Amino acid sequence: MSFLLEKFEEYAELPAIIFLGKTFNYRDLLVKYAEAEEFIGDKNIKEGEVVSLTSDFTPNTIALILALVNNNNIIVPFTYSLKETEEIKFDIAKVQKSIFVNADDCYTLEEKGGTGEHELYATIRGRNNPGLVLFTSGTSGFPKGAVHDFSKLLEKFKTVRRSMRTVNFLLFDHWGGLNTMFHTLSNGGAVLTLKDRRPQPVCAFIEKHKIELLPASPTFLNLLLMSEEYRNYDLSSLQVISYGTEPMPSSTLERLKKVFPTVKLQQTYGLIELGVLRSKSKSDDSLWVKIGGEGYQTRIIDNLLEIKAESAMLGYLNAPSPFTQDGWFRTNDEVEVDGEYIKILGRKSEIINVGGEKVYPAEVESVIQEINNVAEVTVYAEKNPIMGNIVCAKVRLIEEEDKKAFTVRLKSYCNQKLASFKVPVKVSIENEQQYNERFKKKRV
Amino acid sequence: MFIKTTDNMITKDEIIEIIFNSIDEINEQNRSSIPKEASTTLFGSQSELDSLGLVHLITSIEEKTEEATGKNITIADEKAMSLSYSPFKTVETLANYIKTLVDA
């Protein structure tokens, strides 16, 4: 951790974070770091205690994270959008103290009364290292708390790499967001934070801050294309758009390439349990990707991707170990292999079995997305006594359209493009948004 | 085309009309030419429909029946599958079966 503070001394006058229109340089961050250390002392936050941090990317948040890391605390980051139903995460993580950073970047502490006791926490405390707890989004059920040794995750930021002007699109409580932040800070870049993550403000932000790298989700990129907001702004500073967190529909990728012909389109692969792997797409319009990099090994068993990572989590707080006996993490992502490259087809649990044939929702969604007047689509399974399961599609339309006419249009189009068992049997039209605050598709 | 009736009442002829409408849809989607006759074999070696086609047809009929009667029926379920005379044999047997479901 001290390497980061040394870098901050070195970067001194460079802008470190632009927050609410104000620029804070690295020297300002060091002042805030000193204040955060004082706060930790005043509030008697002891070494090894489990401390949650509800916030977004702000100057004091960065200072607090670093000070808590230095105090060997186990940090549990939460975003403001934490819903009441997710309060359970405080219990799962046995949070002892909770820090809340408000929109003006002022912070307060509350006793949470958790025990802070867990055998995984004991392991981290035994190493005299800081910890980090991240939650799986729980789209497939109950949220699981993944416990990491924070010091291992910081290792990779010791290597100096070029820092692009990156918009912190991804949220603070997941790897994507944290990774962007640490990468930027360790390389003397400026953390550029965003309040509103809808297409129009994002485009305005890219223009204003001459953003070079936009890390986003396929769902967001689809909305961006649909909104056509990119026509209203100068986005010529963009060099790279990276996408991950969910399967990219090939139709969205193709349109993206057409709209941004000179921008590099890069797929990323990261998991709450393992961190973000280094990756390289075969080409801009290809879903084939090479993943791995230093500290990561990959193998394919029964078409499923398994990863061995030096910086893997220790385990879940509230679920059995997902590792094999020899330490490989089962991603449950089904992949196709071509030499060094893989193509991610989808989560094993999301594959629909229609009379013994496999259907990947992402593939069907990609085809439906090509149809005129489709804003968003989610493909899911329904039990059926004849076929075992049938494919169903829930569609949000751009403009109102007669359901029967649309259904016939959808089925006819899919019939031309897909094997018959992949064609949705049931089609429903719903007006509500199909993505969550992370701009990630909500699976049924 | 659909006659909205009260009390979920619907005649067998009206059900056959619904089935024909659904056959039209399937023919349009699949570019097939399943004949619209009461004796048309829906499932079996004589049929143009495979099991998936049958599932599409049944789903369409379920939706249309609900529109006409306001009643949500499930045509293909464990019960239908276990009957000794399959209700899916012809348009006519299917119409009879749907009538029992709607009247139930």
- ipTM score here? 0.84
State which CATH number among 3.40.50.12780, 3.40.50.300, 1.10.645.10, 2.40.50.100 fits the domain covering A2-154: 3.40.50.12780
Residue A444: pLDDT over 70: no
Query: Which residues in chain B touch residue A384, judged by CB atoms under 8 angstroms apart?
Result: 55, 76
Report the pLDDT averaged over residues A253-268: 94
Any CB–CB contact under 8 A between B75 and chain A?
A: no
Q: Which residues of A touch B (CB under 8 A)?
A: 354-355, 384-387, 390, 408, 411-412, 415, 420-421, 423, 425-426
Q: Across the interface, do A408 and B28 touch by the CB < 8 Å criterion?
A: yes
Half-sphere exposure of A80 (CA within 13 A, CB side): 11
Which of A359-368, A385-394, A432-441 is predicted with the least confidence, judged by mean pLDDT? A432-441
Tell me, yes or no, whether B78 lies in a domain: yes
Q: How far is B25 from chain A (nearest CA, A)?
A: 7
Give the tens place of pLDDT for each residue, A343-388.
998 888 888 999 888 899 999 999 999 999 999 999 999 998 888 8
Q: What are phi and psi of A89, to 5 degrees?
A: -65, -30
CB A244 within 8 A of CB A269: yes
Query: Which residues in chain A touch residue B30, judged by CB atoms under 8 angstroms apart?
Result: 415
b/e map A364-386, b = 16+ CB within 10 Å: bbbbbbbbeebbbbbbbbeebeb
Residue A242: pLDDT over 80: yes
Unique residue bearing structure tokens 């948004």: A433
The CA distances from residue B47 to A204, B90, B91, in Å, are 59, 9, 11
The range of the structural domain enclosing residue B37 comes to 12-103
Half-sphere exposure of A123 (CA within 13 A, CB side): 13
- Report d(CA A439, CA A170) in Å as an integer: 9
The pLDDT value given to residue B3: 53
Residue from B23, B59, B66, B74 to probe the interface with A (highest A Cβ count within 10 Å): B59
CB A310 within 8 A of CB A299: no
- Report d(CA A287, CA A75) in Å as an integer: 35
Report the pLDDT averaged over residues A50-76: 96
The CA distances from residue A303 to A151, A282, A306, in Å, are 33, 20, 9
Q: Across the interface, do B30 and A415 touch by the CB < 8 Å criterion?
A: yes
Report the pLDDT averaged over residues A186-207: 91
Q: Across the interface, do A421 and B81 touch by the CB < 8 Å criterion?
A: no
Among B50, B53, B55, beta carbon nearest to A390 = B55
b/e map A66-92, b = 16+ CB within 10 Å: bbbbbbbbbbbbbbeebeeeeeebbeb
CB B98 within 8 A of CB B61: yes
Query: Which residues in chain A touch residue B52, judged by CB atoms under 8 angstroms apart?
Result: 354-355, 387, 420-421, 425
The pLDDT value given to residue B24: 92
Q: Across the interface, do A415 and B52 touch by the CB < 8 Å criterion?
A: no
Domain A351-429 adopts which CATH fold? GMP Synthetase; Chain A, domain 3 (3.30.300)
Any CB–CB contact under 8 A between B3 and chain A?
A: no
Query: Which residues in chain A touch residue B55, judged by CB atoms under 8 angstroms apart?
Result: 384, 386-387, 390, 425
Tell me, yes or no, whether B27 lies in a domain: yes
The single-letter code of the amino acid at A98 is: S
Q: What is the 3-state secondary structure (H, E, C) of chain A?
A: CHHHHHHHHHHCCCEEEEECCEEEEHHHHHHHHHHHHHHHHHCCCCCCCEEEEECCCCHHHHHHHHHHHHCCCEEEEECCCCCHHHCHHHHHCCCCEEEEECCCCCEEEEECCCCCCCHHHHHHHHCCCCEEEEECCCCCCCCCEEEEEHHHHHHHHHCCCCCCCEEECCCCCCHHHHHHHHHHHHCCCCEEECCCCCHHHHHHHHHHHCCCEEEECHHHHHHHHHHCHHHHCCCCCCCEEEECCCCCCHHHHHHHHHHCCCCEEEECEEECCCEEEEEEECCCCCCCEEEECCCEEEEEECCEEEEEECCCCCEECCCCCCECCCCCEEEEEEEEEECCEEEEEEEHHHCEEECCEEECHHHHHHHHHCCCCEEEEEEEEEEECCCEEEEEEEEEECCCCCHHHHHHHHHHHHHHHCCHHHCCCEEEECCCCCECCCCCECCC
Report the pLDDT averaged over residues A9-38: 95
The pLDDT value given to residue A139: 54
DSSP B78: H
For the record, the structure tokens of A382 come out as: 């329904």
Identical fold, A2-154 and A351-429: no
Higher pLDDT, A126 or B48: A126
Residue A21: pLDDT over 90: no
Any CB–CB contact under 8 A between B78 and chain A?
A: yes
Which of A248-252, A428-432, A439-443 is predicted with the least confidence, judged by mean pLDDT? A439-443
- Report d(CA A369, CA A129) in Å as an integer: 47
Task: Please work out, in degrees rounded to the nearest 5, the angle formed at the alpha carbon of residue B59 by the alpha carbons of B53 and B63.
Answer: 145
- Express as a percent the part of chain A with pLDDT over 70: 98
Half-sphere exposure of A244 (CA within 13 A, CB side): 25
Residue A7: pLDDT over 90: yes
**Count of structural domains, chain B:** 1
Query: Which residues in chain B touch residue A426, judged by CB atoms under 8 angstroms apart?
Result: 59
- Report d(CA B42, CA B88) in Å as an integer: 6
**Domain of residue B31, CATH code:** 1.10.1200.10
Tell me, yes or no, whether B2 lies in a domain: no
State chain A's mean pLDDT as an integer.
Answer: 91
CB B32 within 8 A of CB A420: no
CB A40 within 8 A of CB A69: no
- Report d(CA A218, CA A362) in Å as an integer: 11
Tell me, yes or no, whether B3 lies in a domain: no
Other beta carbons within 10 angstroms of residue A216's beta carbon come to: 22
Q: Across the interface, do A384 and B76 touch by the CB < 8 Å criterion?
A: yes
Among A415, A421, A426, beta carbon nearest to B29 = A415
Q: How far is B66 from chain A (nearest CA, A)?
A: 14
Tell me, yes or no, whether B6 lies in a domain: no
Q: Across the interface, do B52 and A384 touch by the CB < 8 Å criterion?
A: no
CB pairs under 8 A between A and B: 40
Question: Which residue of chain B is at minimal alpha-carbon distance from A421?
Answer: B52
Among A355, A412, A423, beta carbon nearest to B51 = A355
The pLDDT value given to residue A273: 93
Confidence of residue B2 (pLDDT cuts 50, 70, 90): low
Domain boundaries, chain A: 2-154, 351-429
Q: Across the interface, do A385 and B80 touch by the CB < 8 Å criterion?
A: yes
Residue A323: pLDDT over 70: yes
The pLDDT value given to residue A190: 92
Which of A76-85, A221-230, B2-11, B37-46 is predicted with the least confidence, judged by mean pLDDT? B2-11
Confidence of residue B1 (pLDDT cuts 50, 70, 90): low
How are beta strands A264-267 and A240-243 bridged, if at all? parallel
Residue from B55, B57, B61 to probe the interface with A (highest A Cβ count within 10 Å): B55
The pLDDT value given to residue A347: 86
